[in-house]
Amino acid sequence: MTESESASDNQRPWQSYHTVYTNAKAGMDGVDKEKVQRIVYEMSKGSKYFENEERKEAFIRQKIEHMRARAAKLSATDLSHYQKVVDKRILELEATRELSRIWLHVDMDAFYAAVETLSNPSLKGKPVAVGSMSMISTANYEARKFGVRAAMPGFIARKLCPELIFVPTDFKKYTYYSDLTRKVFRNYDPNFMAASLDEAYLDITGVCKEREITGEEIAEELRSRVHEDTGLTCSAGVAPNRLLAKVCSDINKPNGQFVLPNDRMAVMAFISSLPIRKIGGIGKVTENILRGVFGISTCEEMLRKGSFLCALFSRSTADFFLSVGLGLGGTDMPEARFRKSISSERTFSATQDAALLYQKLADIAEMLSADMQKEGLSGRTLTLKLKTASFEVRTRAMTLQKYICSRDDVLKYASKLLKAELPISLRLIGLRVSHFNEDKGGVPVDPTQKTLTTFLISEDASRRIVNDHSSLGPDLSDLHFMNERETALSMDSHETCQYEFGNPFESTHLPDMDDNNCISSENAWEMEKTCELSNNKTAAMVKTADWIVPTPKSPKKEILRVSEEDYSVQRESEDSNPDRLNKETSGNEEPFSSNEMKQLFWVDDYKCSLCGAELPSCFVEERQEHFDFHFAEKLQREESVLDSSALMPRQRIVPKDCVASQSRRKKQKSQVSKICYPNPRIPCRTQTVAVSQLSVSPLQSSSNQISPKTHLNTLQTGTKPYDRTTSNVIKEATISKPSMSDILASSRAQNFDLQLQTLGPFFRITAKSLDTNRELGRAEGLIRVWFGGRILHLDSIRLKRETLGMERSIFGIGLFIGAVAIRYGYDCGCKTAELLAINDSDLYHSKLVRFYKRIGFKAVHEVTGSTIGDMPHMLIWGGIGTRMDASVEELLVKWCSRLKSQK
């Protein structure tokens, strides 16, 4: 932010409060925007809604910063590569340009307000808003002069325009008039596409030819006939495609029209200066990102910055942006689309009274069930939507074995979902059912879903009547048919190459295995790694080819889903270091020999001779630890030449009954509860759920589940999620230990992101690079109940190979992952942490034990397998080695300085 900007922010803070209301809309030309902005700001300031908007804005700003950084990192080589990609892509898109069809978009002027004025002529000439004090649906043009507009709360609108007349919505009326307009539309295109009650797209190519008149004349005629039949005015846009027609209908609103000729030059001239926000599909956020990151504000600039767009967005998104820059849009008639979900939600005054919330839930379930039965629908996925008193929105979903539609069924499962969220203070509850029974019939869903490319090219899509749903009410006829981005770009169901071995967090199919249906964890790990590696490589390479020579029928869909970052990383490695790929794939490097290990020394008494990491000589322990890292790397390489990863203590052999437990776990899948810790610098909702949310997994509501509970919970005042950092009492209790946010802040300072997932008693912690989004390592374990209290059972900690070369490994990603586990255990009330330093070979075993001792564990038992007493240990741990324990609290204290000083 520049100085002048921040200065004006201080003097005129409303300028930094971005709402959708300032978006230029028809009829708002003469509005004093500064004044509107100020009033909106002043009316909103300090409210919960406002605070939430600020949180969201901060999040977007951060996103923009991150993308900016990524854009800045692109090398000249990268950019010239992407420029070639763009040039090629533009040619391909250009080849799909279709100028033979004439589309007309018709949009009723201030529809609801106009209808109300029709039925109550005394409103004529006066400012009218349809809606309530809390929300306005439509404002007429008289009201818009004051800055009043749709989606604005009524009480703010009244402040802007004290004379404003409020009229409640009456959908019956609007549907009646909508039907009248549609009768007119049908004369020009019997297959017209209704976009909503007041908007439609008509392909008037045929009628223009038949009557040998221009699109302009058709538009004039249609508009006057609509006026004759309804008394309402409308605006129209005529253009070679729907995207442009929609933009055109907005130009001479109200009661006007604009015609864009079917001529490439005319289209390009039109698009060149068009603000991107005018394009359907580009909203407030996308506009902000495009402007903030790339300085794009007009469609033409999409083409100029094409290389950046291709580098930073997914292919489909980049394609959409480029096609916007070229003024391309849908010209064919898309297939009829059927409803995919049905929902019901209500806002009420915020409450945390559980009984009241259940009552609201029952009401919603009732309404939803009634709607479903009206439509003859039943579905198997139920989604609960919640909006907290602070306007944070959450959804919780479950997919059932059976299809449901009855009130009782809906309520039964919805209650389970809600129960897991209590206690909570809510202002909205909603329910949605999807995965309809009819889905299986395959009628509505095109089996060969189109990509944007094929969508743009294909003109042969069979025409279907999509406008004759009047009897079904507004819901169905209001489905969106016109948004190419939405209708054409869905590419679902990528298959990842993953094998699961008794992992409670994942439950896809088992790989083909031996007769005994069992596989050692070693093999599992190897297979997973091998597969992951080859998969990534193939994907990246095919992706490269795909960009350059797109194949309409891509061999594997998942390939297209490879993230852009993977792509750029791959490119980088190809460009700058051709050997890297070979290294990674050959996997035949010689592991460190014992001699090589000895070669670790400190260059200039400061720098590691093996990896270049710098560490002053006074860091004795850290140096030892650093040595251990290289040692772990060596262990890993020696253990598996195929395995490209380094494995820091790996323990565990999957028991023989893994298949049985697998299937049991499969059933639990939909109930995985995931907790993400967002960047602590960003105030957003998940931050405060750090601990309290851990107890919400539906699984944990059943009797034998461990409900992670923090000793700090007892200090909670009650319902509101507490904030450790602001409560003095709580601060006192944690002062000597790193909090979860401390740990996360430290990890983020080192540019990686930690995530904790729980499933009942099980947990998993994964570390990901913020730069590449790749996983760097993970830990898994569970909280188990024992006589003396709960125990944090650490099953495995794995680090990926790329972690090891990094400078940050001085402080060890493993340490951070461990720290999250320990902190989680601490918050769950565990006093003790336990693990098994596996004894695969004596040589490494003693090293492993030393490593664990250094970080705070003590050996408690040697599991040798030679005594009967070892049986329980072996059953639990699946192997032999040294059982080691540590005090959770002591570990936290011991690691404190490191985890708190990294910020």
Partner DNA sequence: GCGGATCAC
Partner DNA sequence: TATGGTGATCCGC
If you search the block for the tokens 């004039």, which residue do you land on? 220
Of the pair 151, 266, the CB lying nearest DNA is at: 151
Q: How many CB atoms lie within 10 A of CB 868?
A: 6
C-alpha 74, offset from chain centre: 24
Least separation in angstroms between residue 274's CB and DNA is 13
Q: Which long-range contacts (CB under 8 A, 24 or more apart) does 204-211 make?
A: 204/102, 204/103, 204/104, 204/238, 205/100, 205/101, 205/102, 208/102
Q: Across the chain, how many H-helices and E-strands are there?
A: 34, 22
Instruction: Tell me the C-alpha distance between 112 and 128, whole Å.
Output: 10
Amino acid at 140: N
Least separation in angstroms between residue 447's CB and DNA is 14
Of the pair 699, 892, the CB lying nearest DNA is at: 699
If you search the block for the tokens 């400012």, which residue do you land on? 127
> Element (H or E) spanning 433, and its range?
strand 426-436
625 part of the active site? no
Tokens representing 283 are 């909203």
Of the pair 166, 358, the CB lying nearest DNA is at: 166
Amino acid at 373: Q
Instruction: Tell me the C-alpha distance between 771 and 229, whole Å.
Output: 60
**Sign of the four-CA dihedral 12, 17, 21, 25:** positive
Helix, strand, or coil (residue 558): helix
**Sign of the four-CA dihedral 620, 626, 627, 631:** positive
Least separation in angstroms between residue 252's CB and DNA is 16
Tokens representing 808 are 């940050």
CA-to-CA dists, residue 264 to 9, 99, 216, 239, angstroms: 43, 8, 18, 11
The answer to whether the beta carbons of residues 48 and 54 sit under 8 Å apart is no
If you search the block for the tokens 């601490």, which residue do you land on? 826
Least separation in angstroms between residue 267's CB and DNA is 20
Which residues are 136's β-sheet partners? 131
Lateral strand order in the sheet of 830-838: 673-676, 752-759, 762-769, 775-786, 789-799, 830-838, 881-887, 858-863
Least separation in angstroms between residue 86's CB and DNA is 17
Q: How many CB atoms lie within 10 A of CB 845?
A: 16
Instruction: Tell me the C-alpha distance between 217 and 692, whole Å.
Output: 65
Least separation in angstroms between residue 227's CB and DNA is 20
Least separation in angstroms between residue 29's CB and DNA is 19
Of the pair 38, 435, the CB lying nearest DNA is at: 435
Of the pair 199, 633, the CB lying nearest DNA is at: 199
Helix, strand, or coil (residue 177): helix
Question: Looking at 116, 199, 526, 775, which residue is catalytic?
Answer: 199
Tokens representing 147 are 């800055």
Least separation in angstroms between residue 786's CB and DNA is 30
Of the pair 99, 684, the CB lying nearest DNA is at: 684
CA-to-CA dists, residue 91 to 85, 178, 303, 322, angstroms: 10, 41, 12, 11
Of the pair 576, 670, the CB lying nearest DNA is at: 670
Which residues are 381's β-sheet partners? 399, 434
Least separation in angstroms between residue 316's CB and DNA is 5
Least separation in angstroms between residue 233's CB and DNA is 16
Least separation in angstroms between residue 538's CB and DNA is 18
Of the pair 158, 305, the CB lying nearest DNA is at: 158
What does the CA dihedral 608, 609, 610, 611 come to, rounded to 10 degrees? Answer: 50
Tokens representing 372 are 């479903």
Tokens representing 560 are 């297209």
Nearest to 497 by CA among 485, 506, 505: 506
Of the pair 331, 697, the CB lying nearest DNA is at: 697
Instruction: Tell me the C-alpha distance between 103 and 236, whole Å.
Output: 10
* Phi, psi for 774 (deg, rounded to 5): -90, 155
What does the CA dihedral 133, 134, 138, 141 come to, rounded to 10 degrees? Answer: 50
Least separation in angstroms between residue 273's CB and DNA is 19
Q: How many CB atoms lie within 10 A of CB 869?
A: 9
Instruction: Tell me the C-alpha distance between 291 and 60, whole Å.
Output: 12
Please measure the distance between the N-terminal and C-terminal CA atoms of the chain and give it in whole angstroms: 24
**What size, in residues, is the chain?**
903
What does the CA dihedral 597, 602, 607, 613 come to, rounded to 10 degrees? Answer: 30
Least separation in angstroms between residue 744's CB and DNA is 15
Nearest to 550 by CA among 310, 315, 303: 315
Of the pair 773, 897, the CB lying nearest DNA is at: 773
Instruction: Tell me the C-alpha distance between 135 and 137, whole Å.
Output: 7
Tokens representing 251 are 């130009």
Which of the residues are catalytic? 199
